[in-house]
């Protein structure tokens, strides 16, 4: 217990702007009691095939040193990279740190934590611009209900599952699902399947499926109107950036 407490103090786990769990490599180097100098050690770690801006980010900041205030470079590691580095060390401290990072990763990405962060973001945006938030939630969208069998089939064909919809919109799937649950568009049934509430049925369609083992069921899909509405609301709430989703839907549907 004391060892885990020391890890929390010496290697703080934080979250970056992209909702990713990150760790300072300098803090990790210090905790692991690496005898090799930090600058030499971190370069050796980078040789294991990690990619900048994918697995880590290099940052420079001013720090107070014995020689005065100087620029100091740190490598901010995503948690998966940090876990790999801990495993490479083959030491007791490396094992303890890796176990700690696994627990922190689960904690930060639990449904409860995701919903809590969405609530914080939503309240922050509401306080900053109440009128804009109200407008975004009262916006009217064109009626996409169809009257012919042909157009109805076309609407179903353009429907996408939750994972593909999240990719099109430009948001992580678990964050998107948590947002839908938080805003009462969906709920989970007794089998943990996502189902739409009656008041939100116009944004969803259903697909009947049969597996190779003759198991059949009904899958909830999001139609084109649902994608547009959810995307607009997520942009208005600053959960996603408009620039990240321009053209994504057209590209996905043409593939």
Q: What is the pLDDT of residues 4-39, one digit of tens each?
A: 446 666 788 888 877 788 999 999 999 999 999 999
Give the Cα separation of 127 and 119 in Å (integer).
12
- pLDDT (tens digit, 9 = 90+) per residue, 229-238? 999 999 988 8
Point out the domain boundary residue: 40, 75, 109. 109
Q: What is the pLDDT confidence band of residue 156, given thresholds at 50, 70 and 90?
A: very low
**What is the chain's mean pLDDT, rounded?**
80
Integer CA distances (angstroms), 127 to 41, 105, 116, 124, 184, in order: 46, 30, 17, 5, 21
- pLDDT (tens digit, 9 = 90+) per residue, 38-83? 999 999 999 999 999 999 999 988 888 777 888 889 999 999 999 9
Ranges of H-type helices in the chain: 2-10, 25-31, 38-46, 79-89, 92-108, 111-128, 130-138, 149-157, 162-169, 173-182, 224-236, 248-254
Percent of the chain, pLDDT > 90? 42
Provide the domain limits for residue 174.
Answer: 114-254
Residues with Cβ within 8 Å of 118's Cβ and at least 6 positions away in sequence, in order, are 175, 178, 179, 182, 239
CB atoms within 10 A of CB 101: 24
Comparing 191 with 129, the larger pLDDT belongs to: 191
Please state whether beta strands 204-210 and 216-222 pair in parallel, antiparallel, or not at all (unpaired).
antiparallel
Residues with Cβ within 8 Å of 81's Cβ and at least 6 positions away in sequence, in order, are 50, 55, 56
139 plus 98 within the same structural domain: no
pLDDT at 204 over 90: yes
10 plus 133 within the same structural domain: no
Give the Cα separation of 200 and 195 in Å (integer).
10
- Total domain count for the chain? 2
153 plus 27 within the same structural domain: no
163 plus 248 within the same structural domain: yes
122 plus 247 within the same structural domain: yes
Low-confidence winner among 86-95, 112-121, 151-160 (lowest mean pLDDT): 151-160
123 plus 219 within the same structural domain: yes
Q: What is the pLDDT confidence band of residue 155, given thresholds at 50, 70 and 90?
A: very low
pLDDT at residue 117, as a whole number: 73
Point out the domain boundary residue: 109, 138, 168. 109
186 plus 162 within the same structural domain: yes
pLDDT at residue 229, as a whole number: 94
Low-confidence winner among 4-13, 149-158, 164-173 (lowest mean pLDDT): 149-158
- pLDDT (tens digit, 9 = 90+) per residue, 207-220? 877 777 777 778 89
Residue whose tokens read 């990619």: 51
pLDDT at 93 over 90: yes
85 plus 145 within the same structural domain: no
120 plus 213 within the same structural domain: yes
11 plus 133 within the same structural domain: no
Comparing 153 with 85, the larger pLDDT belongs to: 85
Point out the domain boundary residue: 109, 130, 160. 109
pLDDT at residue 239, as a whole number: 83
Comparing 63 with 160, the larger pLDDT belongs to: 160
pLDDT at residue 147, as a whole number: 39
* Predicted model pTM: 0.50
119 plus 245 within the same structural domain: yes
């Amino acid at each position: 217990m004391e060892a885990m407490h020391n890890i929390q103090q010496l290697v703080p786990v934080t979250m970056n702007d992209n909702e990713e769990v990150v760790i300072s490599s300098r803090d990790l180097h210090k905790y692991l009691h690496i005898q090799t100098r930090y600058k030499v050690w971190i370069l050796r770690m980078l040789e294991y095939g990690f990619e900048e801006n994918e697995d880590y980010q290099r940052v420079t900041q001013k720090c107070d040193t014995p020689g005065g205030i100087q620029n100091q470079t740190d490598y901010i590691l995503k948690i998966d990279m940090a876990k790999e580095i801990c495993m490479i060390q083959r030491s007791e401290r490396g094992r303890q740190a890796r176990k700690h990072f696994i627990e922190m990763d689960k904690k930060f990405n639990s449904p409860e934590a995701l919903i809590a962060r969405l609530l914080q973001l939503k309240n922050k945006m509401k306080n900053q611009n109440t009128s804009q938030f109200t407008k975004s939630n009262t916006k009217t969208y064109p009626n996409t209900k169809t009257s012919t069998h042909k157009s109805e089939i076309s609407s179903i064909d353009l429907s996408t599952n939750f994972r593909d919809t999240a990719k099109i919109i430009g948001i992580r799937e678990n964050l998107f699902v948590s947002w839908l649950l938080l805003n009462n568009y969906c709920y989970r049934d007794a089998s943990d399947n996502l189902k739409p509430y009656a008041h939100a049925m116009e944004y969803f369609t259903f697909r009947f499926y049969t597996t190779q083992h003759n198991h059949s069921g009904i899958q909830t899909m999001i139609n084109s109107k649902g994608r547009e509405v959810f995307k607009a609301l997520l942009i208005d709430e600053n959960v996603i950036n408009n620039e990240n989703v321009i053209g994504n839907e057209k590209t996905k549907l043409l593939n």
